[in-house]
Amino acid sequence: MSAPVEAPLTVSLVDPQLAEAASALVEKLVTDEVASKLARQDDTLWGPDAQDEASKRLSWVTLYESSKPLVERLTALRGDLHGEGVDRVVLAGMGGSSLAPEVICHTRSGSAVGGRHPITVLDTTDPGQVRDALAGDLSRTVLVVSSKSGGTVETDSQRRVFAEQFAANGIDAASRMVVVTDPGTKLGDQAAEQGYRATVEADPAVGGRYSALTAFGLVPSALAGVDVGGLLDEAAAAAPELQRDSADNPAIQLGSALAAAHNAGAEKVVLADSGSGLVGFGDWAEQLIAESTGKQGLGLLPVVVESPDAPGFADHGHDATTVTIGPAVGNAQIATEGSLGAQFLLWETAVALAGRLIGINPFDQPDVESAKQATRDLLDGDGTTGTDEAPVLVEGGIEVRGEWLRSPSTLVEALGQLIAEAPDGGYVAVQAYLDRLDDASAEVLRPEIAKNTGLQTTFGWGPRFLHSTGQYHKGGHQNGVFLQITGSVADDLAIPDQPFTFGELQHAQAAGDAQVISQHGRPVLRLHLADRAAGLVALTNAVAEVRR
Ligand SMILES: O=P(O)(O)OC[C@H]1O[C@](O)(CO)[C@@H](O)[C@@H]1O
C-alpha cells in the first residue's frame, strides 16, 4: 500500500561525514535561492549553455496542478473501455514513456493482483517477450502507445505488430489504440489519420525522464485503474516544502549530498528499497539520475540493487554513496521516505539541483543518439546484425567476442580479462539483450559479479537500459567495463512493413551500442548464448569463479 497523501517527506543524511560535506552546498543553494527560482521555472540556473534547453524543460515543477484536468478525461476513457470489456492494458513505450507507469501501477496494485499485473509494459524488442504480450487476451486489450518524440523505433515496432494482430483477430485495431505523444509528432498524425481511439497530448515543456506526472505517467496508469488524482495530490502536498529556500528542504539536502559525494569521488549512487512500499522505484530513478547527470565525463551512476543486504550496498567502498528508498537501514548513508507522488517530485528536484552543483545541463542527453545511429547503420547495411564477426572462443554454446581480448582459452579467463580492465573505483555493467520475463535468471549475475570482484555492478535489460543508463555509459565517468549478453532467437517475429524483424533489431541494437562503447575506448565482452537457459547457467557458474 502507498503512504497517505500527507505522509511526511523526509531525507535523512545518516552519514555524518557526508552530511558535513553537503552542508556547504546546502548553504550555497539556500543563499542563491535556487529552490524558489526553480519553482518559478528560472531557466538560468544551469548556466548560459544550458539555458535554451532549460527554457523548454521546466514545466514539471507544477504538474501536480497542470495535470489535474486529465483525471476526469482518463476516468471516462477507462469507463468506456471497461464497458466494452477491455480491461487489459499493454504499454508500448521506452524510458521516460514507460518507467513511471510501471512503478505507479505496480505500487498501487501491490505486486500483482491474482498473479496478474494490471499493466504489461513492453519496453523490449525481444521477439519472445513481444510474442508473450501478443498471446494475452487481445479481445480485452488496449494498447497505449507512448512516445514523446513519436519516432522511437521500439515503440513504433510494437505498435505495428499489435495493429496487425488486432486485425488478424477480427478486432478493429484503431479502436484499441490510445496514443500519448507531444503535439505535432508523426505518431500524433498517424493516430488522427487512422482514427485511433484517443490521443492525449503531453506537455512538450517536460522532458521524458521528468514526465511521471504528465500524460506519460498518468494515461496508462489511469487506464489500469490507478487513482492518478491521488498521486497528483501527493506531489502537491510535498511541493511547498520542496520549493522553500531552507536548509531543511529535502530536495536541497538530497541534491547537495549527491553532488558532494560526486565531487569527492563517490559518483555511484547505490539504490536499495528498504520497505518503502514503492515497487521498482529505483528503476525509474535510474533513468532520471543517469540521463540527467551522465555527461561531459561527469555524473552520477545509479546502481539499483536487490536489497540493503546486497553486494554493492552492504559492502560499498569509497566510490559509492548508498541510498535507501524507505527508512535508513544497514549501510545506508542517505534515506528518502514519502509517498510515491512526493518521491517523484523530490528526486526530480534533487537531480536538477545536483546538476547545477556538478556543473552539467540536466535536461539534455547528448550521447543517446550515437547508439541509435549505429543501430540504424547496421540495419541499413548488409542486414548483418553483429553476431557474425568470428568469435574468439566458443565454450558450451557460448560465443565469446571482443577485439581487445588477449586470446582467452576459457570463458572464465575471458571474464577475468574483462574485470582486470576495470580501474580501481571502476564499474561493471551487465547488459542483457534477452527476455526480461523468461530469462529473468540473468539478474543473478549482478550480485554475483559485485560480490566476487568488489566492483560496483549494474544490470540492465537491452534495449531498455539504452533509454536509461545508456547516456551515462557513454557520457559519464569513463571507468566502466561492459558485459553484453545476447541470445539466439527460437521464433523470430516480423515487424509489419519493416525490412527487419524484432530479432534483427534487437541484435543490431546490441551490436550498435557495443560499437559506440568500444569507440569510447571501453572494453565490451560480448557473449552470445546459443541456448539461453543453458547459457545462463553456464555463465553464472563461470562468473562464480571470477575474482579481481
Ligand atoms: O518518448 P520517446 O520519444 O519515445 O523516447 C523514449 C526515451 O528515449 C530517450 O529519448 C532517449 O533514450 C529518453 O530520454 C526517452 O525517455
Instruction: State the average pLDDT over residues 100-116.
Output: 74
Q: What percent of the chain has pLDDT over 90?
A: 93
Q: How far apart are CA 451 and CA 310, in angstroms?
A: 9
* SS3 per residue for 286-320: HHHHHHHHCCCCCCCEEEECCCCCCCCCCCCCCCE
* Residue 234 confidence (pLDDT) above 70: yes
Least confident of 48-52, 106-110, 337-341: 106-110
Tell me the CA–centroid distance for residue 95 and ligand 1, in Å: 6
Look up the ipTM and state it.
0.98
Q: Are 217 and 101 in contact (CB under 8 A)?
A: yes
149 CB near ligand 1 (under 6 Å): yes
Tell me the CA–centroid distance for residue 40 and ligand 1, in Å: 26
Task: Give the per-residue pLDDT at 381.
Answer: 79
Instruction: State the average pLDDT over residues 227-234.
Output: 98
According to DSSP, residue 467 is labeled: G
Q: Which of 97, 201, 469 to probe ligand 1 with, by most ligand atoms within 8 A of CB?
A: 97
148 CB near ligand 1 (under 6 Å): yes
Long-range contacts made by residues 18-25, C-beta under 8 angstroms, separation at least 24?
18/257, 18/260, 18/261, 18/321, 18/333, 18/334, 19/257, 21/257, 21/260, 21/261, 21/264, 22/253, 22/256, 22/257, 22/259, 22/260, 23/256, 24/260, 25/255, 25/256, 25/259, 25/260, 25/357
Q: Are 533 and 431 in contact (CB under 8 A)?
A: no
* Residue 205 confidence (pLDDT) above 50: yes
For residue 80, what is its C-alpha cell?
468506456
* Residue 111 confidence (pLDDT) above 80: no
- SS3 label, residue 478: coil
pLDDT band, very low/low/confident/very high, at 109 (cuts 50, 70, 90):
confident
* Residue 135 confidence (pLDDT) above 80: yes
Tell me the CA–centroid distance for residue 316 and ligand 1, in Å: 31
Task: Give the per-residue pLDDT at 389.
Answer: 84
pLDDT band, very low/low/confident/very high, at 6 (cuts 50, 70, 90):
low
pLDDT tens digits, 173-183: 999 999 999 99
10-55+238-358 is classed in which CATH architecture? Answer: 3-Layer(aba) Sandwich (3.40)
Tell me the CA–centroid distance for residue 221 and ligand 1, in Å: 19
Task: Give the per-residue pLDDT at 305.
Answer: 98
Q: Looking at ligand 1, which atom is closest to the CA of residue 93? A: 4
Instruction: State the average pLDDT over residues 427-447.
Output: 98
Task: Give the per-residue pLDDT at 520.
Answer: 96
pLDDT band, very low/low/confident/very high, at 271 (cuts 50, 70, 90):
very high
The pTM for the full model equals 0.97
* Residue 467 confidence (pLDDT) above 60: yes
Does the structural domain 368-544 have CATH classification 3.40.50.10490?
yes
Nearest to 323 by CA among 370, 233, 262: 262
* Torsions phi, psi for 21 (to 5 deg): -65, -35
pLDDT tens digits, 275-299: 999 999 999 999 999 999 999 999 9
Q: What percent of the chain has pLDDT over 70?
A: 96
Task: Give the per-residue pLDDT at 115.
Answer: 44
CA neighbours within 13 Å on the CB side: how many for 149?
A: 13
155 CB near ligand 1 (under 6 Å): yes
Task: Give the per-residue pLDDT at 5.
Answer: 62
365 CB near ligand 1 (under 6 Å): yes
Q: How far apart are CA 183 and CA 5, in angstroms?
A: 32
Amino acid at 3: A
291 CB near ligand 1 (under 6 Å): yes
Helix axes 250-263, 16-31, angle to 10 degrees: 120
Q: Are 11 and 323 in contact (CB under 8 A)?
A: no
Nearest to 277 by CA among 110, 121, 117: 110
pLDDT band, very low/low/confident/very high, at 414 (cuts 50, 70, 90):
very high
Instruction: Give the torsion through C-alpha atoms of 106, 207, 325, 368, to 10 deg.
Output: 100
Same CATH fold assignment for domains 63-231 and 368-544? yes
* Residue 382 confidence (pLDDT) above 90: no
Computed over every residue of the chain, the mean pLDDT equals 96
What is the domain partition of the chain in residue ranges?
Answer: 10-55+238-358, 63-231, 368-544
484 CB near ligand 1 (under 6 Å): no
Tell me the CA–centroid distance for residue 164 and ligand 1, in Å: 24
> Do you know the residue count of the chain?
548
pLDDT tens digits, 473-511: 999 999 999 999 999 999 999 999 999 999 999 999 999
State the alpha helices, DSSP H only, in 63-211.
63-66, 68-83, 99-108, 127-134, 153-168, 186-194
Instruction: State the average pLDDT over residues 107-124.
Output: 73
For residue 204, what is its C-alpha cell?
512538450
Tell me the CA–centroid distance for residue 390 and ligand 1, in Å: 33
Does the structural domain 63-231 have CATH classification 3.40.50.12780?
no
C-alpha separations of 234 from 340, 343, 404, 452, 548 in Å? 7, 9, 51, 41, 46
CA neighbours within 13 Å on the CB side: how many for 465?
A: 26
According to DSSP, residue 501 is labeled: B
* Torsions phi, psi for 165 (to 5 deg): -75, -35
Task: Give the per-residue pLDDT at 251.
Answer: 99
Q: Are 369 and 362 in contact (CB under 8 A)?
A: no
